[in-house]
Amino acid sequence: MLQRVAPRRPVRQDMAVRHSVLSLKSTAAILLIGFACALPAAAEERADGTTDLPVPRFVSLKSNSAMMRTGPDDRRFPIAWEYKRRGLPLEIVREYGIWRQVRDPEGTIGWMNKSLLTGERTGFITPAADSGPRTLYTAPDLQSRVAWRIEPGAVVTITLCENVWCRVSNGGRSGYILRNHLWGTYPNEAING
């Protein structure tokens, strides 16, 4: 369900080095733009790489391939799992420098570099008792029309959560789902994103 695979041995690839010459003006402009874009992120990050953000908190995978390690260092700790699912929600349970100890929807815990994670809120559709699809509604009410059904294990983008309902989207479709059918939010957590 998670598209998690056992690690493969790292393969060294030769990389071509490309040199380019930029004028002094364009170099200065690039540096200024980069500095300006980095300011908001730097405001919440300490010098050691940790943040003032609450722990635990939910995040999601930034790319289609991310390595989970057994510890917070890519030289000393081996790869435990490789995740191949962009947007998969993860719960940060601890910060250590630039490393985040995370838990996946199945409960597996390991370490990932913070550069592999994004603050985008996503959810993982949990299995139903009958293993069938979950129902999404047109409004946050069990008496409203059925918008569509979604299979357990699907990843959705969370746009709103209030009380027991969350509004989610996937593949251009959106609807309301009961919060307890979704992994990636805390009980009574308000999300307006």
Q: What is the pLDDT of residue 130?
A: 87
The rounded mean pLDDT for the chain is 84
Range with the largest mean pLDDT of 7-21, 29-43, 72-86: 72-86
Q: What is the pLDDT of residue 26?
A: 38
For the segment 40-49, the average pLDDT, to the nearest whole number, is 62
Cβ-contact 58, 185 below 8 angstroms: yes
* pTM of the predicted model over 0.75: yes
- Omega of the bond prior to 56 within 30 degrees of 0, cis? yes
Residue 40, both tokens: 């908001």
Q: What is the pLDDT of residue 178?
A: 98
The residue that leads in pLDDT, 167 or 6, is 167
Domain 123-192 CATH assignment equals 2.30.30.40: yes
Q: What number of other Cβ atoms are within 10 A of residue 78's Cβ?
A: 10
Cβ-contact 44, 52 below 8 angstroms: yes
Phi-psi bin for 82: left (phi > 0), alpha (psi -120 to 50), beta? beta
- Which secondary structure element, helix H or strand E, spans residue 162, and what is its range? strand 155-162
Q: How far apart are CA 188 and CA 59, in angstroms?
A: 17
CA distances from 120 to 94, 175, 186, 187 (A): 18, 18, 15, 18
| Superfamily of 46-120 according to CATH | SH3 Domains (2.30.30.40)
Q: What is the pLDDT of residue 187?
A: 96
Q: How far apart are CA 157 and CA 169, in angstroms?
A: 5
The residue that leads in pLDDT, 6 or 178, is 178
Boundaries of every domain in the chain: 46-120, 123-192
Same fold, 46-120 and 123-192: yes
The residue that leads in pLDDT, 2 or 90, is 90
For the segment 147-157, the average pLDDT, to the nearest whole number, is 98
Cβ-contact 94, 103 below 8 angstroms: no
What amino acid occupies position 153? G
Q: What percent of the chain has pLDDT over 70?
A: 79
Residue 44 has pLDDT above 50, yes or no: yes
